[in-house]
Amino acid sequence: MTATTDGSTGATMPPRAAAASETVLTTPVAAGVQEAAAHAVRRATDFLLSQQDAEGWWKGDLETNVTMDAEDLLLRQFLGIPDEETTRAAALFIRGEQREDGTWATFYGGPGELSTTIEAYVALRLAGDAPDAPHMAKASAWVRARGGIAASRVFTRIWLALFGWWKWEDLPELPPELIWFPTWLPLNIYDFGCWARQTIVPLTIVSAKRPVRPAPFPLDELHTDPADPNPARPLAPATTWDGAFQRLDRALHAFRKVAPKRMRRAAMHTATRWIIERQENDGCWGGIQPPAVYSVIALHLMGYDLNHPVMRAGLESLDRFAVRREDGARMIEACQSPVWDTCLATIALADAGLPADHPQLVKAADWMLGEQIVRPGDWSVRRPGLPPGGWAFEFHNDNYPDIDDTAEVVLALRRVRHHDPERVDKAIGRGVRWNFGMQSKNGAWGAFDVDNTSPFPNRLPFCDFGEVIDPPSADVTAHVVEMLAVEGYSHDPRTRRGIEWLLAEQEPDGSWFGRWGVNYLYGTGSVVPALTAAGLPGSHPAIRRAVAWLESVQNDDGGWGEDLRSYHDARQWSGKGASTPSQTAWALMALLAAGERGSKAVERGVEWLAATQREDGSWDEPYFTGTGFPWDFSINYHLYRQVFPLTALGRYVHGEPFADKVRQEQPRAEAKGS
């Protein structure tokens, strides 16, 4: 194991050059699929056990794109605290991610992306790269050919406005008075998903203050016309939603000029208190990097100097998002995923046949039990009477536990024979009760909030990047339904409503959309095991349609893969892409749950996983199979390539998932009546 963050350990980031499909075939499959699978399970189990931290958790690197690294350098420049070593290491990583055409993409093998390329270019300028250097000239020419800075997204232009490279008056207005909107009023902060809410509140202060630091250099080379760097954007017709919100933004710009100063100051102070109240014990905000960055800027603008305890803790937390690579490069994680990785690793090892009382599983259970959140967070705004009991994704994020992690942690805990079963039952009871209470009115579950489905936030001119609301999704709902089934709630009316919603959401081709993983393979790989765990037979029409779809999109090499472009063009890309270990595993998990263990499709998929496994028991996967925002923000969870193949192969070797056996032998219903 190698150091990945300050004081933590994890798997080494694999070389970027080799794709999964290029892995050397190391396992002789001629000896039989079952034997090859069992051999792969043994090696994968040993490898995954070797990756556990001494405290009991697992955490793989969480790779996104270079905007995290670029914005880290811009933040340091804005605060006046750049340091040579950090800049050098960040620039080394950013240069290494540049494509041959001079651009930067947002996922492996993806196309160049304008805003990402602009931010990476500016970061390299901060690192001292000359604009006429070949790699820089190639990038700036590409940017100009696609409209320059004026065509970039709002968040990129905000960063540039901090240094006078863009005019604040040409950005959408974000009034700090938004913090006072009651929850019944459209566009109140709780209409936004928690990740957007945590970003927007500090940005209302930044937008009101409009700070400008001296620019260390001009950026004329990134404008199509340096003489007119801020061209006016055309207005959409007033009869359209876009046109209506554009005119609302113009009204807010006019209001800025007449807003009472005392009222505006009071709103900014309210926003400041809101930010500070949500700082986590380790100094971060929500366990994710973007809100932390903007919160630090906002508090600094409100007079908090860099030595203030709140600021010191915030800046120290940002350093913990850094991953040091063996070549000296420094990569910034947008987030860290220890709870998610640990529960998935526990499930994988248990389903692979590791004894339920294995010391490392018990240690993982102990760590997960200690991570349960027992105080209210922002979710309680919509559910004020609901007792807490969820789990979050990260090391420190007590304000925003999520429904998905809670369901999977319960599934993981049920696979472990713990020395204090009463403690486990009580924790699971709290988690089940909380998940039941977070059900949306349509019967399904979102990730963080209840009924976070307002149509208005996505219409704002400010919100031109990624999802800003948190509606229910098939993958989260499936994980909750599977957990409730294992806990003995298959026939509970609330569970049945979730099942009915899932059946109604099936696509015409038999697949399900994947909100938090790529994409239809993830959705289908989540839903089918949930439906069968809840009692639907493999002969059910919805299950048969899913099986037919999975068989139809299997690659010639026996694996499955899906490109992120399926979020843009489902007809062309749904279920299509280079085979990857994690996506192959999702397909196998669905097929095995549907009773297809002896099918040719399953055998070919198992053979592909066994054949592409590396000698040390791991798999390589440069492709991004995780989703932050569909298409806009993609994630390569470095542990996905280990936990999901092991889960699928373990279920192939050992038959039914361990969770199904628990459900059949000892249904539990501690949260009954919640």
pLDDT digits over 181-214, tens only? 999 999 999 999 999 999 999 999 999 999 999 9
Q: Which of 329, 408, 420, 286 is nearest to 366 (CA)?
A: 420
Q: How far apart are CA 122 and CA 115, in angstroms?
A: 11
Q: At 75, which helix (H) or strand (E)?
A: helix 67-79
Average pLDDT on 508-531 reads 97
CB 389 within 8 A of CB 674: no
Question: Hey, is 49 helix, strand or coil?
Answer: helix
Average pLDDT on 105-124 reads 96
Other beta carbons less than 10 A from residue 235's beta carbon: 12
The secondary structure of residue 657, as a DSSP letter, is: -
pLDDT at 595 over 80: yes
Residues in a beta bridge with 10: 2
Q: Which pLDDT value is given to residue 657?
A: 65
pLDDT at 134 over 60: yes
HEC-encoded secondary structure of 332-363? ECCECCHHHHHHHHHHHHHHCCCCCCCHHHHH
* pTM, two decimal places: 0.91
Active site residue 404: yes
Same fold across 26-60+337-448+468-665 and 67-217+236-332: yes
pLDDT at 671 over 50: no
First-to-last alpha carbon distance for the chain, in angstroms, is: 43
Q: How far apart are CA 604 and CA 641, in angstroms?
A: 18
CB 517 within 8 A of CB 627: yes
Share of the chain above pLDDT 70, in %: 93
Average pLDDT on 323-344 reads 95
Q: Give residue-wise pLDDT tens across range 262-314.
A: 999 999 999 999 999 999 999 999 989 889 999 999 999 999 999 999 999 99
For domain 26-60+337-448+468-665, the CATH architecture is Alpha/alpha barrel (1.50)
Q: Give residue-wise pLDDT tens across range 219-264.
A: 999 999 888 877 777 778 878 877 887 888 788 888 889 999 999 9
CA dist 615 → 60, 345, 513, 620, 622 (Å): 19, 20, 34, 11, 18
Name the band, by pLDDT with cuts 50, 70 and 90, for residue 467: confident
Q: Which pLDDT value is given to residue 518?
A: 97
For domain 67-217+236-332, the CATH architecture is Alpha/alpha barrel (1.50)
Question: Of the given ranges (22-31, 203-212, 353-362, 626-635), which has the lowest mean pLDDT?
Answer: 22-31
Mean model confidence pLDDT for the chain: 91
Q: How far apart are CA 20 and CA 579, in angstroms?
A: 7
The tokens 């993983």 sit on which residue?
517
Amino acid letter at 1? M
Question: Of the given ranges (62-71, 118-127, 231-240, 402-411), which has the lowest mean pLDDT?
Answer: 231-240
Average pLDDT on 343-362 reads 97
Q: How far apart are CA 24 and CA 618, in angstroms?
A: 12
Q: How far apart are CA 107 and CA 632, in angstroms?
A: 10
Tokens of 287: 């366990």
Name the catalytic one among 378, 404, 449, 475: 404
Residues in a beta bridge with 335: 288
Domain ranges of the chain: 26-60+337-448+468-665, 67-217+236-332
Q: 298 CB contacts (<8 Å, ≥6 apart)?
A: 201, 202, 203, 205, 206, 271, 272, 275
Q: 403 CB contacts (<8 Å, ≥6 apart)?
A: 390, 435, 438, 445, 446, 447, 448, 476, 480
